[in-house]
Amino acid sequence: MRLSDRVSGAALVALGGLAAWGGSRLPAVPGQDVGPAVFPMLIGFGLIACGLMIALGVGHAFEAPEEEGGGRSWWHGLWALLPPALLVLYMLLAERIGFLLMAAAMVLVVALAFGARLRLALPLAVLAPLAVHLVFYRLLRVPLPEGLLAAPW
Amino acid sequence: MQNLIEGAALVAAPDVLVAILASAIYGLVIGALPGLTATMATALLVPVTFYLSPIAAVATIITASAMAIFSGDIPGCLLRIPGTPASAAYTDEAYAMTRKGQAETALGICLWFSALGGIFGTLALMVVAPALAEIALSFSTFEYFWMALLGLMCATLVARSSPVKAIAAMLIGLLIACIGMENPAGTPRFTFGLSDLLGGVEVIPALVGVFAVAQVMRALLMPEPPPLPRRRFGSILAGQWGLTRRYPKQLMRGNTIGVIVGVLPGAGADMAAWISYATSKKFSKEQAKYGTGHPEGLVESGAANNSAVASSWVPALLFGIPGDTITAIAIGVLYMKGLNPGPTLFTENASSMYALYLIFILANIIMIPFGIMMIRTSTLVLRAPRAAVMPVILLLCAVGAYAIGNNPFAVLLVALFGCLGFVMERNGYPVAAMVLGIVMGSMVEQSFVSSLIKSDGSLLPFVERPISGLLAALTFTALLWPVGVWVVQRLRGRRLRPSGAAE
Amino acid sequence: MQTLSRRTLFGAAAGLGAASLARPALAQARWPARPVTMICPWAAGGGTDAVLRIIAAGLERELGQPFNVVNRTGGNGVVGHAAIASAQPDGYTLGMLTSEICMLHWQGLTQITYRDYTPLALVNFDPAGVQVNANSPWQTIQQCADAIKASRPGQLKASGTGQGGIWHLALGGWLVAMGLRPDHVRWVPSTGAAPAMQDLAAGGLDLTTNSVVEARAMLDAGRARSLVVMGPQRLAVWPDIPTLKESLNLDWTAGAWRGIAGPRNLPQEVQDAMSGALKRVYEGNEYKEFMNARGFGLLWGDAQGFARHLEEQDRSLGEAMRAAGLARA
Kindly tell me if the per-residue pLDDT of C66 is higher than 90: no
Cis amide leading into B408 (omega within 30):
no
Look at C187 and A31 and tell me if their CB atoms are within 8 Å: yes
pLDDT at residue B159 in the model: 66
Q: Residue A148: closest CA among chain C residues belongs to which residue?
A: C17
Give the Cα separation of A84 and A82 in Å (integer).
6
Picking from C71, C199, C207 by the largest number of B CB atoms within 10 A of its own CB, the best residue to mutate is C199
CA–CA gap between residue B114 and residue C53 (Å, rounded): 34
Residue B331: name the closest of C274, C216, C154, A103 by CA.
C216
Closest CA to B181 of C112, A17, C77: C77
CB contact under 8 A, A141 and C12: yes
Asked if B320 and B341 count as a contact pair (C-beta separation under 8 A), the reply is yes
The pLDDT assigned to B491 comes to 78
Is the CB of residue B35 less than 8 Å away from at least one CB of chain C? no
Q: For residue A140, is pLDDT > 60? A: yes
Q: What's the confidence (pLDDT) of residue A1? A: 55
SS (H, E, C) chain C: CHHHHHHHHHHHHHHHHHHHCCCHHHHCCCCCCCCEEEEECCCCCCHHHHHHHHHHHHHHHHHCCCEEEEECCCHHHHHHHHHHHCCCCCCCEEEEEEHHHHCCCCCCCCCCCHHHEEEEEEEEEEEEEEEEECCCCCCCHHHHHHHHHHCCCCCCEEECCCCCCHHHHHHHHHHHHCCCCCCCCEECCCCCHHHHHHHHHCCCCCEECCEHHHHHHHHHCCCEEEEEECCCCCCCCCCCCCEHHHHHCCCCCCEEEEEEEEECCCCHHHHHHHHHHHHHHHHCHHHHHHHHHHCCCCCCECHHHHHHHHHHHHHHHHHHHHHCCCCCC
Domain-wise residue ranges, chain B = 2-224+237-492
**B199 and C76: CB-CB below 8 Å?**
yes
Task: Report the distance separating Cα B305 and Cα B307, nearest Å.
Answer: 6
With an 8 Å Cβ cutoff, are C44 and B43 in contact?
Answer: yes
- Closest chain C C-alpha to B338 CA, distance in angstroms: 6
Q: Which residue of C has its CA nearest to B442?
A: C191
CB C132 within 8 A of CB C200: yes
Q: What is the mean pLDDT of each run of 10 residues along chain B (503 residues)?
A: 83 90 90 75 74 88 89 88 83 88 87 92 83 77 86 73 87 93 84 84 84 88 68 71 87 90 77 88 85 88 89 80 74 77 72 88 92 86 82 88 81 94 90 84 86 89 87 81 74 53 36
CA distance C49 to chain A (A): 15
* CA–CA–CA angle C77, C81, C83 (5° rounding): 120
Can you tell me the distance from the alpha carbon of C288 to that of C291, in angstroms, rounded to the nearest whole number? 5
Helix (H) or strand (E) holding B243, with range, is helix B240-246
What is the enclosing helix (H) or strand (E) of B191?
Answer: none
**CB burial of residue B346 (10 Å; 0-12, 13-18, 19+):** middle
Res A142: pLDDT = 76
Q: Domains in chain C, start-ordered, CATH in brackets?
A: 2-126+255-323 (3.40.190.150), 129-248 (3.40.190.10)
CB B87 within 8 A of CB B76: yes
The complex's ipTM?
Answer: 0.92
Mean pLDDT of chain C, nearest integer: 86
Cα separation, C26 vs C91, in Å, equals 12
Nearest to B341 among C107, C217, C326 (CB): C217
CB-side exposure of C323: number of CA atoms within 13 Å? 22
Say what the pLDDT of residue A127 is: 93
Q: What is the mean pLDDT of residues C84-113?
A: 91
The count of other CB atoms within 10 Å of the CB of residue B134 is 11
Which residues of A fall within a CB distance of 8 Å from C186? Answer: 31
- Among residues B199, B206, B184, the alpha carbon closest in space to that of B436 is found at B206
Residue C329 has a pLDDT of 62
- CA distances (Å), B68 to each of B342, B358, B410, in order? 27, 19, 22
d(CA B307, CA B254): 8
DSSP at A81: G
Neighbour count for residue B470 (Cβ, 10 Å): 13
Task: Identify the pLDDT of residue B47.
Answer: 66
DSSP three-state, residue B391: helix
Cross-chain residue pair C8–A153, CB shorter than 8 Å: no
Q: Helix, strand, or coil here: B180?
A: strand
* pLDDT recorded at residue A135: 81
Q: Which of A135, A140, A141, A142 to mutate to test the interface with C (most CBs of C within 10 A)?
A: A141
Q: Is B366 exposed, middle or buried (0-12, 13-18, 19+ CB in 10 A)?
A: middle
Give me the pLDDT at residue B244, please.
Answer: 86
- Cα Rg of chain C, angstroms: 21
For residue B416, what are the contacts with CB-CB under 8 A and spacing of at least 6? Answer: A84, B209
Residue pair B205/B418 in contact (Cβ under 8 Å)? The answer is no
- pLDDT computed for residue B482 by the predictor: 63
The alpha carbon of residue C57 is apart from the nearest alpha carbon of chain B, in Å, by 10
Q: Which residues does residue C158 pair with via DSSP β-bridges, in sequence order? A: C187, C207
Q: Do C78 and B198 lie within an 8 Å CB cutoff?
A: yes
Contact status of C12 with chain A (Cβ, < 8 Å): yes
**Which of B280, B371, B281, B307 is CA-nearest to residue B73?**
B371
Q: Provide the pLDDT for residue A34.
A: 80
- Report pLDDT for C11: 40
Q: Is pLDDT larger for residue C85 or for residue A75?
A: C85
Burial (0-12, 13-18, 19+ Cβ within 10 Å), B434 = buried
CB proximity C187 to A under 8 Å: yes
Q: What is the pLDDT at residue C20?
A: 39
Average pLDDT score, chain A: 85
* CB B378, CB B117: distance < 8 Å: no
- Residue C129 backbone dihedrals phi, psi, to 5 degrees: -125, 180
Cα gap C289→B481, rounded to integer Å = 57
Q: What is the DSSP string of A12-25?
A: HHHHHHHHHHHHHT
For B193, left (φ over 0), alpha (ψ -120 to 50), or beta? left
Q: A53 to chain B: which residues are within 8 Å by CB? A: 164
Nearest alpha carbon to residue B272 among B226, B303, B236, B293: B303
Instruction: Please tell me the distance from the alpha carbon of residue B421 to that of residue B400, in angstroms, as a whole number.
Output: 18
Residue B319 backbone phi and psi in degrees, to 5:
-130, 0
Report phi then psi at C147, rounded to 5: -65, -40
Helix (H, G, I), strand (E, B) or coil at B189: strand
Kindly report the backbone phi and psi dihedral angles of residue B76, in degrees, each rounded to the nearest multiple of 5, phi listed first: -60, -45
Rg (CA), chain B: 22
What is the distance in angstroms between the Cα of B451 and the nearest Cα belonging to chain C?
8
What was the pLDDT predicted at B498? 44
For chain A, percent of residues with pLDDT exceeding 70: 88
Cβ contact, residue pair A32, C13, below 8 Å:
no
User: Per-residue pLDDT tens for C156-205?
Assistant: 999 998 888 899 999 999 999 999 999 899 999 888 888 888 889 888 89
Say if CB B394 and CB A106 are below 8 A apart: yes
**What pLDDT shows up at residue C23?**
39
Largest CA distance in chain B: 68
- Where does B337-408 have alpha helices with state H? 343-348, 350-378, 380-383, 386-405
SS (H, E, C) B392-412: HHHHHHHHHHHHHHCCCHHHH
* CA distances for C8 relative to A99, A131, C71, C131, angstroms: 18, 18, 14, 42
Rounded to 5 degrees, φ, ψ at A25 are -85, -5
- Sketch the domain layout of chain A as residue ranges: 5-62, 75-139
Q: Report pLDDT digits (tens) over C284-307.
A: 998 998 888 888 989 999 999 999
Strands (E), B112-268: none
> Cα separation of B132 and C94, whole Å?
45
pLDDT at C190: 87
